[in-house]
Amino acid sequence: MKVALSIRDHIDRAALVYGQRIGVVDEPDQPAPPLRAVDGGPLTYSALAERSRALGAGLESLGVPQGGRVAMVSQNSARLLTLLFGAPSSGRVAVPINFRLSPVEVAYIVEHCGADVLLVDPELEAALAGVTAPTKLTIGIDTDEILYRHDLEASPWEPDEDATAYINYTSGTTARPKGVEMTHRNEWINAATFGWQAGVSDRDVYLHTLPMFHCNGWGMPFATAAMGATQVVLRKVDGPEILRRVERHGVTLMCGAPAVVSMVLDAAASWDGEVPGRDQVRIVVAGAPPPTSIIERVESELGWEFIQIYGLTETAPLLTMSRGRSEWDDLTPGERARKLVRAGAPALGVRISTDADGELLARSNTVLKSYWNQPDATEAALAGGWFHTGDGGVIDDEHYVTIVDRKKDVIISGGENVSSIEVEDALFAHPSVAEAAVIGVPNDKWGETVKALVVLDPSSDLGRLAEVEPESVQRTLIAHCRELLAHYKCPTSVEVRTELERTATGKLQKYKLRAPYWEGRDRQVN
């Protein structure tokens, strides 16, 4: 017997086995009132399942066919969570969009995926006023009755594990992001593997410190629901607030970028009394490995377990996991940190290799179905029956992966991918910029930040100003970029140069441009 794997499996089990348990504690401080059960009670797993089914019926009443796309731009919220469950469970496709993107970028994604419906967080309503879709709604009490049709039943959908469940747009490794099609099978296997290897159980309380739009929360909302773990929504990441919620809700598990770790450590330094969560919290980190000193501090100062993973939007994301082993119990904290700083060993069902150039290649049941409407990009990414990650890495004698370089021109800042090409294009749009190179430079809080190296037209206004007021030039160019890009993509510093290092063929030698900033450090990404 073969039964199709479906996202519906996770919410159905949650309702069946843990129906009366509090499933979701929504963010209390948000523009829209927190989502509750239909009767006004807490959002148990039965209530979450009911809301998710009603969302499917609501989408159908809005004319969204099975296979139709539903986009949502929102910070973490229970309503976004119902989309992640409700749209795929009714045969529709959820498209969660990064709320940090500019209106131009959001508009591109909505148009590119052909969204039938666009749902917008109230906080973003004004900024995204110019973004259109066949149906556009601001989420909240006023539209809950439209979206959650408890008086209707959605048309039955026969689960198809190879059907597209989500389209997750990359942060952009070129000027345009790509829509990553993930199937029900992709997501099911990722959730099962991730949840198992992270030890998720019904005794866990999961805090959403990771944006839900990121690979659908890395699949953790599905794993935690299926196992009956309570999910606590955090709308905006803040170190002291994370500690407060760990204390208030008994949080045991969270995921996030290295920046989250730094925020928690900073908050712990001024926390009044014992830091909550000692010997109970596991924090799963990805995006870029933090320094070993940070890992050591997590385990010694916080008493939390540090787990590192590696993966991409295209792999759902889990490819490798680095978690403490019994063989390491007698190691010093520093020695353990040096073990944990590696990206990790392949997850169950994952095969990792490298090509002649050192690029990491992966085979897994969690690798993307395709890039939406981009067959050439799909063919290139899956050439030879392997997914080409674009990341350089080495595999040691213990079969652990370490990321050593990034072949794609991407900067990872605070867990967000930033295309250096995209930032360079924005800089070149300024009439005074003759040349531009964008690189990632080390930053203790964000891992790395965006730095622009520019050559200005000496006859331009900025060119003449550069010699006497370089800081004014920096402010002008950063402000210029902010008009075109999401703020997290914009340079945090700008340096004016007379020339940029190039090869004989005119290609920028970014490794030489980066080298002075990364001297003495183990890792150079970008």
Structure tokens at 25: 């504690």
Q: Where are the beta strands (DSSP E) in 170-210?
A: 179-183, 205-208
User: Residue 367: which pLDDT band, with cuts at 50, 70 and 90?
Assistant: very high
pLDDT for res 163: 98
Report d(CA 281, CA 487) in Å as an integer: 32
User: Residue 69: which pLDDT band, with cuts at 50, 70 and 90?
Assistant: very high
Averaged pLDDT score across all residues of the chain? 93
- Percentage of the chain beyond pLDDT 70 is 96
- In angstroms, the first-to-last Cα distance of the chain is 47
What is the per-residue pLDDT across 269-305, written as a single tens digit (0 to 9) for each?
999 999 999 999 999 999 877 778 889 999 999 999 9
pLDDT for res 172: 53
For the cut 70, the answer to whether the pLDDT of residue 175 exceeds it is no
Please give the CATH number for the structural domain made up of 1-188.
3.40.50.12780
Report d(CA 288, CA 210) in Å as an integer: 14
Q: Where are the beta strands (DSSP E) in 184-263?
A: 205-208, 230-233, 253-256
pLDDT for res 73: 98
Instruction: Please work out, in degrees rounded to the nearest 5, the angle formed at the alpha carbon of residue 140 by the alpha carbons of 43 and 207.
Output: 45
pLDDT for res 413: 86
What is the per-residue pLDDT across 121-167, written as a single tens digit (0 to 9) for each?
999 999 999 999 999 999 999 999 999 999 999 999 999 999 999 99
Give residue limits of the domains in the chain.
1-188, 346-406, 411-518
User: Residue 507: which pLDDT band, with cuts at 50, 70 and 90?
Assistant: low
For the cut 70, the answer to whether the pLDDT of residue 46 exceeds it is yes
pLDDT for res 505: 47
Q: Which residues of 221-244 are buried (b: 16+ CB within 10 A; e: fewer)?
A: bbbbbbbbbbbbbbbebbbebbbe
Q: Provide mean pLDDT across the span 74-94.
A: 98
What fold is seen in the domain 346-406? Answer: Luciferase; domain 3 (2.30.38)
pLDDT for res 522: 57
Looking at per-residue pLDDT, the higher value among 432 and 422 belongs to: 432
* Ordered strands of the 282-285 beta sheet: 43-44, 22-25, 230-233, 205-208, 253-256, 282-285, 305-311, 318-322, 345-346
What fold is seen in the domain 411-518? Answer: GMP Synthetase; Chain A, domain 3 (3.30.300)
- Rg, C-alpha atoms of the chain: 23
